[in-house]
Amino acid sequence: MTGARLYAALAGLARAACDVAAFAVPAAVYVASVSHQPGSWDTAELQGVPYILGITHPTGFPLYVLLGYVWTHVLAIDTVAFRANVMSAIAISGVCAAAYAIARELGARRPVALAATLWFSLTQDVWSHAIRAEAQDLAVLLEALAIWAFVRWLRGTGDRWYFAAFALTGLAMAAHPNALWVVPGLIFGSIVARRRPALRLAALSAAACALALSLYLYLPLRSAYVVSHGLDPTMGLAGTDGGIFWNYRDPSTPHGLLLDLTGDETNVTHYLFSSFTPAHVQDALWALITLLGTQYGAFALVLIATGIALAWRRDSRVTAFLFVACTAALLFSVTYSEEGDVGRYRLLALMLAVPAIGAIVPERARGFRAYAGAVALALFSFAGAAVSLQANLEFFRHSPDENGRWVINAVRPYVPPGGVILAGWLDATSLAYGAYVDGSLPGRIVVSGAADANRQNYPLWARTHPVFILVNPRDVASLPNAKLVTIIDAYHALWRAEPG
């Protein structure tokens, strides 16, 4: 082999290595750092519901549940919680690969795009969401792929990419409805494109997006099956309208389906419309600045702003679309005050940094200054990734009794099979995972709710079942028609209800 051929072969291997590493490196890091135990809160629910083909809290996330069912049964290794966590890890690794592909589409050099991608993947917000079961993770993957497909269409690669962008966005909304914030970007991009989409193409693409939403039919159909076959253990308990994991809010009924699709129990519709208040644009821009500054640092914030400005000079249409598509969801994130984890609504905004950094010294730039700048950018971004890795090493540390596992173990000795456990959402999901998924709480029935809201119900349940109530002793000093069983810790006390 001549020197020229050897150089070409090595260069080809280097290019392929960069392309593969954009997905493989984050995937390896994430899979190595996911927990093997059930979580709490929404995490435990999204670890367990897909495995039993149940119904989650609003809005039901049907694509996530259906895909999760296949994933957790085909990947039959370790715990169900581990499998669900790995699915999210792979999804966010796919987001990293999409970010790399978008940067390359905008002309970024491979080493710079890879370094920026790894930095993005190791930021605290991205990494923390990549290692736990999240319906949002699957949605963000599909959103990122939709944005990449649309960028390709804007750059003239063919109408199939336009169609794919809308189809992927529809699937993303079937995974998590927050993906609807990509739609304004697609509409805006269609308007400003040099070559407008044909009416037939636009109609077919919109139809594909709408067709994907038909996956929400899973909710009433599966709920009706659960009810008719008596799969929900809470059926027959007074005051329950569908138990968690199996049949949340019973969407087989019109009222339950409306609650599931609208999320009205947390006023989501109100916050959605409030997002369009002009004042929130300023809040969203400030959230973007603080988000990028917090996750990447002040120096990187300057680089990102510079990259966006340079990308705008080269192709304002693509840059404007990319900015709108990646940041529109910030309007909702700054409005939805009932959300306890706004970070999961901001992952696409963080992804914007990858093509922005890559745009500073594009591949087409030649000369010593361009090569030196590219090397400096790559080294700076690799250093940023290393710092993020060092700062987040705690994600690798896990104990056998962590997250929701400890509360399952703590409650099990006191609650016999056939017993009912009433607990708040934070702990109820962990207990339901043990009761309905991995069998560590066999035969127990879990009800999610506040003790005060169920004070008329649990004495009735106690006529036919042993009923236990898990509360925070700092908030609840006594319970009517119940006796204290044990104080588990400073935040958990277990009471037993008396028949009433």
Query: Per residue in 146-188, pLDDT tens?
Result: 999 999 999 988 899 999 999 999 999 999 999 999 999 999 9
In a domain, 27, yes or no: yes
Measured on CA atoms in the order 158, 96, 292, 375, is the torsion positive or negative?
Answer: negative
For the chain, give the number of residues.
Answer: 500
Asked which of 396, 431, 451 is the last residue of a domain, the reply is 396
Same domain, 386 and 429: no
The three-state DSSP-derived secondary structure of the chain is CCHHHHHHHHHHHHHHHHHHHHHHHHHHHHHHHCCCCCCCHHHHHHHHHHHHCCCCCCCCCHHHHHHHHHHHHHCCCCCHHHHHHHHHHHHHHHHHHHHHHHHHHCCCCHHHHHHHHHHHHHCHHHHHHHCCCCHHHHHHHHHHHHHHHHHHHHCCCCHHHHHHHHHHHHHHHHHCHHHHHHHHHHHHHHHHCCCCCCHHHHHHHHHHHHHHHHHHHHHHHHHHHHHHCCCCCCCCCCCCCCCCCCCCCCCCCHHHHHHHHHCHHHCHHHHHHHCCCCHHHHHHHHHHHHHHHHHHCHHHHHHHHHHHHHHHHHCHHHHHHHHHHHHCCHHHHCCCCCCCCHHHHCHHHHHCHHHHHHCCCCCCCCCHHHHHHHHHHHHHHHHHHHHHHHHCHHHHCCCCCCCCHHHHHHHCCCCCCCCEEEECHHHHHHHHHHHHCCCCCCCCEEEECCCHHHCCCHHHHCCCCCEEEEECCCCCCCCCCEEEEEEEECCEEEEEECCC
Number of domains in the chain: 2
Q: What is the pLDDT of residue 336?
A: 73
Q: What is the pLDDT of residue 373?
A: 87
Q: What is the pLDDT of residue 1?
A: 58
Same domain, 32 and 114: yes
Distance, in Å, from the CA atom of 99 to the CA atom of 333, rounded to the nearest integer, reads 21
Same domain, 40 and 143: yes
In a domain, 17, yes or no: yes
Instruction: Give the pair of three-digit tokens for residue 492.
Output: 């958990």
In a domain, 223, yes or no: no
Q: Which of 389, 301, 278, 394 is nearest to 349 (CA)?
A: 301
In a domain, 249, yes or no: no
Q: Which of 223, 251, 342, 323 is nearest to 59 (CA)?
A: 251
Asked which of 340, 367, 396 is the last residue of a domain, the reply is 396
The stretches in the chain having pLDDT less than 50 are none
In a domain, 258, yes or no: no
Q: What is the pLDDT of residue 240?
A: 85
Q: Which residues, other chains included, contact 12 with Cβ-Cβ below 8 Å and sequence gap of 6+?
A: none
Q: Are 191 and 202 in contact (CB under 8 A)?
A: no
Same domain, 158 and 123: yes
Asked which of 345, 370, 396 is the last residue of a domain, the reply is 396
Same domain, 381 and 364: yes
**Residue 111: C-alpha distances to residues 18, 30, 107 (Å):** 7, 21, 12
In a domain, 59, yes or no: yes
Same domain, 390 and 425: no
0.75 surpassed by pTM: yes
Is 404 exposed, middle or buried (CB count within 10 Å of its CB: 0-12, 13-18, 19+)? buried
Same domain, 332 and 469: no
Q: What is the pLDDT of residue 264?
A: 66
Q: What is the pLDDT of residue 11?
A: 72
- Domain extent, residue 428, equals 405-497
Chain center to CA of 405: 22
In a domain, 247, yes or no: no
Reported as a single tens digit per residue, the pLDDT across 393-407 is 999 998 887 888 999
Q: What is the pLDDT of residue 401?
A: 78
Largest CA distance in the chain: 90
Same domain, 469 and 388: no
Q: What is the pLDDT of residue 481?
A: 86
Same domain, 70 and 107: yes
Distance, in Å, from the CA atom of 211 to the CA atom of 389, rounded to the nearest integer, reads 41
Q: What is the pLDDT of residue 395?
A: 92
Same domain, 386 and 414: no
Q: Are 455 and 478 in contact (CB under 8 A)?
A: no
Same domain, 293 and 382: yes
Q: What is the pLDDT of residue 205?
A: 96
Q: What is the pLDDT of residue 266?
A: 66
Q: Are 84 and 63 in contact (CB under 8 A)?
A: no
Same domain, 381 and 410: no
Residue listed under structure tokens 């999610």: 448
In a domain, 260, yes or no: no
Q: What is the pLDDT of residue 389?
A: 95
